[in-house]
Amino acid sequence: MLAIEQIRERLIEYQPKSLQRVVQRHAAVALLLRENSEGTEVLLIQRAEHEKDPWSGDLGFPGGRIEDQDVSPRAAAERETWEEVGLCLSKESYLGQSDDLAGAYLSVRISCFVYQVNNDAQFKLNGEVVDLFWIPLKTLLEPERNRMTNFLYRGSNREHPVVDLSEWSQRPLWGITYRLLDNFLNLFDLSFSHPETF
């Protein structure tokens, strides 16, 4: 399975694709990785339930909207990570960037920045995040966890691919975070069993 050093080497040479589509908002997230006896793991957070949050209760990465004071999308991802989970990301922990994505239903562009985190990193959740957990990348790719599921989303029935992570959360991995992770995995010729097609 993927080792951090492989990821570092790939991202050093990779030129991320920027989104050409005009969107109303730009957000940035931090894809956090660590390596231990289970192999490489990715950090997922569970967002608090909030009626004004389009990702209310979903699994995701630390991140959020780019604010006027942010000098770059990467700075926004680092600020949001500090605010949401109390983790300060250093220049040394930065591995690179994967491709930007557009929201499937919302007019938003998401930039995704990849970091390595120490195994002894300490977290402090704010009110926007209710839980976090480390998931081995190999677990996300298990075929039995990958399935198509019907959702009622914004008043419409929709079918989406998901990854069942019921040992960690009642919510599956789906939507923009699923797509961001699939984008990242594609850089290493890996993919979920039912990747999004849009």
Could you read off the pLDDT of 91-139 as tens digits, one per residue? 999 999 999 998 776 778 899 999 999 999 999 999 889 999 999 999 9
Asked whether residue 145 is assigned to any structural domain, the reply reads no
Asked whether residue 79 is assigned to any structural domain, the reply reads yes
pLDDT, tens digit (0-9, with 9 covering 90-100), for 19-38: 777 778 899 999 999 999 88
Place of tokens 């894809």: 31
pLDDT of residue 194: 78
CB contact set of 69 (below 8 Å; sequence gap of 6+): none
Asked whether residue 167 is assigned to any structural domain, the reply reads no
CB contact set of 83 (below 8 Å; sequence gap of 6+): 64, 126, 128
Asked whether residue 161 is assigned to any structural domain, the reply reads no
Domain assignment of residue 74, given as a range: 4-140+174-186
pLDDT of residue 24: 80
Strands 108-116 and 25-36: parallel
CB atoms within 10 A of CB 37: 6
Going by pLDDT thresholds of 50, 70 and 90, the confidence category of residue 50 is low
Asked whether residue 116 is assigned to any structural domain, the reply reads yes
Asked whether residue 148 is assigned to any structural domain, the reply reads no
Asked whether residue 162 is assigned to any structural domain, the reply reads no
65: domain CATH number is: 3.90.79.10
For residue 154, pLDDT over 70 is answered with no
Q: Average pLDDT, stretch 8-27?
A: 88
Place of tokens 């604010």: 67
Asked whether residue 160 is assigned to any structural domain, the reply reads no
- Please give the share of the chain, as a percent, with pLDDT higher than 70: 93
What is the domain count for the chain?
1
For residue 92, give both structure tokens. 């040394």
